[in-house]
Amino acid sequence: MGILEVKGINKRFGGLQALGDVNLSVQENTVHAIIGPNGAGKSTLLNVLVGKLIPDSGSVMFDGQSVLGRKPHEIAQMGISRVFQTPEIFADLTVMENVLIPCFAKRDGAFRMHGIESVADEKDLNEQAEKILSEVKMLDKRHMTGSSMSRGDKRRLEMAMCLVQEPRLLLLDEPTAGMARADTENTIQLLKDIRTERGITMAIIEHDMNVVFSLAERITVLAQGMPLVEDTPDKIKDHPKVREAYLGEAQV
C-alpha cells in the first residue's frame, strides 16, 4: 500500500481522453518520476492530485484518505506540497516573509485571526524560517524581494517554502524547466540533499531525462493518457515499449 494510491482515473476534455484508467502507486520514501511525451496527460494527472481538477471517475487516496473534492489548501494541510513549473512565490514580499507565511500556515492552520500580534515578535517562527533559509543557502538574501531573484533562486525559495510544511509527499512539476545548465545541476543537488536528509517522498513530472535518471527510484511512463509501464530506471531505459512510444529513435 503506497502513500499515494491512484486508482482508475478517467478524465475527458470534450472529445479528448486526457487520462484513461490511470493507476499509480507511490511508495513511501521513494522518488517516483512520471514521464511521457507531450500530451501524455502528466500535468492533468498532477492537477487531479492537488484538487485543481476533478476526474470523471476513479479515486485518489493519500495515506488512506480521499483527496478528491478537497480544496488545494486542505490538501496542503494534509501534507502534500507542490512545486510548480514556473516557481510560484510571493514576488512582492521579501524572501524572509515568503518563508514565514508557510511557517504560520504550519503552526496555525488554514486560518487564524491574528491581527494584533507582531510578526517580529514571533521569535520561534523567525528562527525556523532562518534555519530553512540557511538550509537552502539563501539566508544572505533574506531581505531581497522575491521578484528580484534569478530563476534558480526562485526555485530554491519555493522549495524552502514547501519544506517548511514538512510535507509527506512533495509533487514537482518539471522543476528544472527553462533553467540554465548550472541552475539545473544545483536544483538536482538540492533535491538529492532534501531526499537524503529529510526522506521526503517525491513525485516528479519531468522532461529532462538527465534529471529523471539522476533522481528517480521508480518511473511510470504515460503515453496518450495511459500508463505504459512502471519500473526501476535501469529497466525503463531499455524497455522496448518505452523506446517505441516515448524515446523514439533518440538514444538516452
List residues binding other proteins (CB under 8 A).
50, 71-73, 76-77, 81-82, 84, 88-94, 97, 100-102, 104-106, 108-122, 143-146, 158, 161-162, 164-165
> Distance (Å, rounded) from C-alpha 229 to C-alpha 216?
15
Q: Nearer Cβ to other proteins, position 91 or 180? A: 91
User: Terminus-to-terminus CA distance in the chain, angstroms?
Assistant: 32
Q: Nearer Cβ to other proteins, position 31 or 83? A: 83
Q: Nearer Cβ to other proteins, position 158 or 206? A: 158
- Would you give the distance in Å from CA 149 to the centre of its chain? 21
Residue 52 phi/psi, 5-degree rounding, is -80, -30
CB of 95 to other proteins, least distance (A): 10
CB of 135 to other proteins, least distance (A): 17
Q: Cell numbers at residue 32, please?
A: 517516483
Q: Nearer Cβ to other proteins, position 113 or 182? A: 113
- Which residues does 56 contact at the CB level (< 8 Å), separation at least 6? 10, 11, 12
Give, to the nearest 10 degrees, the angle between helix 151-164 and helix 123-135.
130
CB of 97 to other proteins, least distance (A): 6
CB of 62 to other proteins, least distance (A): 14
Q: Nearer Cβ to other proteins, position 117 or 249? A: 117
Nearest CA to 164 among 88, 106, 96? Answer: 106
Q: Nearer Cβ to other proteins, position 36 or 87? A: 87
The amino acid present at 244, given as its one-letter code, is E
Q: Nearer Cβ to other proteins, position 73 or 131? A: 73
* Contact indicator for 92, 144 with CB cutoff of 8 Å: no
CB of 177 to other proteins, least distance (A): 17
Pairing of strands 169-173, 80-83: parallel
Instruction: Kindly calculate the radius of gyration of the chain based on its CA atoms and give it in whole angstroms.
Output: 19
CB of 104 to other proteins, least distance (A): 5
CB of 192 to other proteins, least distance (A): 23
Give, to the nearest 10 degrees, the angle between helix 123-135 and helix 95-108.
120
Q: Is the dihedral of CA 161, 221, 65, 43 positive or negative?
A: positive
Residue 77 phi/psi, 5-degree rounding, is -65, -25
